[in-house]
Structure 1
Amino acid sequence: MHLQKRSSVLRISSLCLILLLFLSACDQVQTAPPKQAAKIPPTATATATAPNTNNNLHFPQKPTQAVPTPTPVPQPTSTPVPAGNNPQNIQPLANDHGHPVLAFYYPWYIQQSWTLQQMSDLPSVQYNSGDDVTIDRQLNFAAGAGITGFISSWWGAGDKTDVNFGKLLVHAATLEQQANYHFASSLYMECDAPNLNTPAKMASGLTYVRDHYSNDAHFFHWQGKPVLFFWSPLGNGRTLAQWASIRQQVDPNHQMIWSAEGVDTNLLSVFDGLHLFSAGYWGLKNNTMPQVDQGFRDKITAYNQANNTQKIWAAGVMPGYDDTRVPGRKGTFTVPRNNGTTYTTSWNAAIASNPEWITITSFNEWFEGAMIEPSVTYGNQYLTLTQQFAHRWHG
């Protein structure tokens, strides 16, 4: 007890001595006048914005929920993709009509769509497809990357995919006025959709498209004709005879161009060309992508020579694929992205096959993990790669 009291007295004495020495020192220091207080330049404040380390690309903030582990992004070598809603930075393309780049596009999302329980990644900005700001942002991203149009999934007249396609055409007209960039989109006729899944329904839907959209300046035309794409035309028991009948009803003089999804060249007896939504993924998995694309080019060229026709080869490119989280889907599979290598291989093979068009699977098929739209995991990596290859393709 005595030792504790003695120790306390010593500590108090020491503190008093230190305080006296401090006060004495302060009397000898000249205090800076208030008006001469040091100023911190705006560029050096603690709240200054960090330098943009992503090639001056500006993308919206990422969502805060748990996300997949990011993959390292390679440094791009091309001009950065312009910011969304900033059309003055988009460069017009001299020959975009001669070398179209068309991305499959899905206008069906709502805010409740975005969950990692049913898709492998999330967009940098979660959106509603029908919002004007969303459509503007997507058009600016696409145009900045050298895409010349979308192939918009269509489920029939009056469906939200129909309503949103109408908005897309209006926004494309605004983009052209503001940036002198012609963005022309087509429709992907979803043959299994409830409003299109019989010959009569398909004929009705095609008549609607022909009458409502085909003459729009921002509907994709090739050599003066409006173009339509058809998903799985021979699926679920559909036959070429049925398609021949539908075409005779809707387009008897072949004033439109119809591109069929599939590998069967017999489709060319009714349709005007082939495309692969799958982008020939087996070539990506087996390291034979150049042979796959060139094989289709050769088949269509041989058909044209034998039949004196001008059927169209649309080579497909794909960044990767992952539909393993789609609820209830059987037979799921993945095509790894390999940090951009898959996409690069796909583009190189497509360009080498000398196609009339190149299609991208896809701009925003999030459920199947085949999107190039900016994402939480990959940022703008795939838009930047698209820009590099699209500009090479445009020449």
Structure 2
Amino acid sequence: MPRGGPMRRLWALLAALVLCWPGVSAASSGPRPAAASVAGDATRPPLLAYYYQWFNAGSWQRAKTDLPLAGPYSSDDTQVIDRQITEAKSAGIDGFIVGWKQGAVNDRRLRKLVDAAEARNFKVAMIYQSLDFHRRPLPVAQVAADFRYFRDQFAASPALLRVAGRPLTVWSGTWSYTHDDVARVTSAVRGELRVLATEKNVDGYRRIADVTDGDAYYWSSADPETTPGYADKLQEMARAVHADHKIWIAPCAPGFDAQLVGGTKPVPRRDGATLSAEYTAALRSSPDAVGLISWNEFSENTHVEPSHDHGDRYLQVLRDLRGVQATVTSRSDPGGSGDVPGRSVAGSGPSRAYWAFAGLVAPMLLITPFAVRRLRASRRSGPAPVEEREAGPGQEVSRSPGSTSPRCSRPDRAP
């Protein structure tokens, strides 16, 4: 054997461990997989979070028990919008269903959101808020004019979530309008838009099924542990909508507490168990999309946006439910992209895999000189016993023809 052969073999083994050790090879494997496309599939339909753009500095002083980690933001702040989209995408959310009605402020904010979504390959649907602050229905003529305005001003954007080529919209409050009222509104725009109702039961859906394109049930106050027939009701509604070959958006929420705005019975969050149960029930109804209630409804405490009370706990729960690996936002990113592929939520320090690897290699480096001396001494004293020279089960290392270096299979390379 050439001089120094044992040392070369030991260093070659260490090199192989470096290449094969989990977390070390992954560092060079490129960006992590992106979330599934909004087209979805049977096991992972699109996740759309209800999103509200009503906020200014004074909004956070009314009916709030929790506040965003980002502070008392304005819905006009484009940096806030960029951050929200980045955080949502990192948790497996495919798009926002944004609350809107026509007006100078709402139009401006919706335009900013649509532009940001377009730049970031994110999707936007619109939910029309047809009830006023006191829950009274707006005039039918106003609703009809607002839908036409949305079609003319926003529907051309590629950021709009489309079903068979038509942007998806939802009409909140359809239960407050007659069949003929609904028909008057939808007849003018259904050729260019999909308009979903928000009915609360099968009879309500069937009442206006012929003049709408499906149903998005906004049910945030149900407790999956104590509300009788919760999951069964979702499945009944899904069967009715799908029997007409129309669109069903099933709801899920992390919890609910609207006591400061007139609610009486909160639904506890249970550290993510409520959201997990409701998401599972939504999936069992075979939805065309899951409607997450909500991204930032802080008055009813259904928010998953990072907050003082919950941190980013509910983004972590969503990642687990959606099978998405996390990224973090770079606060120093001058371009505001915020996407940092391959970095864990824990931060930018050494990973667990790194320290585990170091714990394995350090002792080997310490014992290497002694092992080499022992091997050289054994060569001088004759061949070692067979049981010391043959690898046992699970210890075999394959080699390439003519190579002296161990070879391992890396997940980011073809064999």
CA shift in 2, pair 1:150/1:90, >3 Å:
farther
1:121 is matched with which residue? 66
Q: In the alignment, does 2:131 pair up with 1:185?
A: no
Q: How many residues align?
A: 284
Whole-angstrom distance in 1 between the partners of 2:48 and 2:84:
14
Q: Is the partner of 1:209 in helix, strand or coil? A: helix
1:163 is matched with which residue? 108
Q: Which of 70, 76, 95 is residue 37 of structure 2 equivalent to? A: 95
1:55 is matched with which residue? none
Q: Is the partner of 1:185 in helix, strand or coil? A: strand
Residues 53-68 of structure 1: matches in 2 within 5 Å? none
Residues 180-329 of structure 1: matches in 2 within 5 Å? 182-193=121-132, 197-235=138-176, 238-251=177-190, 254-262=191-199, 263=201, 264-265=204-205, 266-279=207-220, 281=222, 283-286=224-227, 288-301=229-242, 304=243, 309-326=244-261, 329=262
Whole-angstrom distance in 2 between the partners of 1:151 and 1:284:
27
Q: Is the partner of 1:322 in helix, strand or coil? A: coil
Whole-angstrom distance in 2 between the partners of 1:356 and 1:240:
25
Whole-angstrom distance in 1 between the partners of 2:280 and 2:192:
33
CA shift in 2, pair 1:229/1:354, >3 Å:
same
Whole-angstrom distance in 2 between the partners of 1:93 and 1:224:
21
Whole-angstrom distance in 2 between the partners of 1:333 and 1:162:
34
> How many percent identity over aligned positions?
27
Whole-angstrom distance in 2 between the partners of 1:340 and 1:295:
26
Runs (4 or more) in structure 1 with deviation over 6 Å come to: none
Contact 1:157-1:205 within 8 A present in 2 as well: no
CA shift in 2, pair 1:285/1:275, >3 Å:
farther
1:118 deviates by 1.3
Q: Is the partner of 2:259 in helix, strand or coil? A: coil
Q: TM-score, normalised by structure 2?
A: 0.64
Q: TM-score, normalised by structure 1?
A: 0.67
CA shift in 2, pair 1:210/1:269, >3 Å:
same
1:292 deviates by 2.6
Contact 1:284-1:346 within 8 A present in 2 as well: no
1:19 is matched with which residue? none
Whole-angstrom distance in 2 between the partners of 1:285 and 1:119:
26
2:348 is matched with which residue? none
Computed over aligned residues only, the root mean square deviation of the Cα atoms, in angstroms, reads 2.3
1:342 is matched with which residue? 274
List per-residue Cα deviations over 1:44-98 (Å, max 9, x = no partner): xxxxxxxxxxxxxxxxxxxxxxxxxxxxxxxxxxxxxxxxxxxx97743343322
Whole-angstrom distance in 2 between the partners of 1:107 and 1:389:
26
Q: Is the partner of 2:291 in helix, strand or coil? A: strand
Whole-angstrom distance in 2 between the partners of 1:373 and 1:113:
16
CA shift in 2, pair 1:356/1:374, >3 Å:
same
2:290 is matched with which residue? 358
Q: Aligned partner of 2:48: which letter?
A: L
Whole-angstrom distance in 1 between the partners of 2:311 and 2:153:
37
Q: Which runs of 5+ in 1 are unaligned?
A: 1-87, 176-181
Q: Aligned partner of 2:99: which letter?
A: S
Whole-angstrom distance in 2 between the partners of 1:90 and 1:113:
37
Contact 1:155-1:196 within 8 A present in 2 as well: no
2:389 is matched with which residue? none
List per-residue Cα deviations over 1:202-239 (Å, max 9, x = no partner): 1110111011111210011112111101111122xx21
Whole-angstrom distance in 1 between the partners of 2:270 and 2:309:
13
Whole-angstrom distance in 2 between the partners of 1:109 and 1:210:
24
1:74 is matched with which residue? none
1:271 deviates by 1.1
Q: Is the partner of 1:151 in helix, strand or coil? A: strand
1:150 is matched with which residue? 96
Whole-angstrom distance in 1 between the partners of 2:247 and 2:197:
10
Whole-angstrom distance in 2 between the partners of 1:315 and 1:102:
10
Contact 2:220-2:302 within 8 A present in 1 as well: no
CA shift in 2, pair 1:314/1:363, >3 Å:
same
1:123 deviates by 1.1
1:50 is matched with which residue? none
List per-residue Cα deviations over 1:294-323 (Å, max 9, x = no partner): 22222223xx2xxxx311111111001111
CA shift in 2, pair 1:343/1:287, >3 Å:
farther
Whole-angstrom distance in 2 between the partners of 1:122 and 1:277:
23
List per-residue Cα deviations over 1:215-271 (Å, max 9, x = no partner): 210011112111101111122xx21111112222333xx332111112222231211
List per-residue Cα deviations over 1:319-355 (Å, max 9, x = no partner): 01111113xx3x5431111111111100111112211
Residues 100-115 of structure 1: matches in 2 within 5 Å? 100-115=46-61
Whole-angstrom distance in 1 between the partners of 2:198 and 2:278:
18
Whole-angstrom distance in 1 between the partners of 2:32 and 2:156:
26
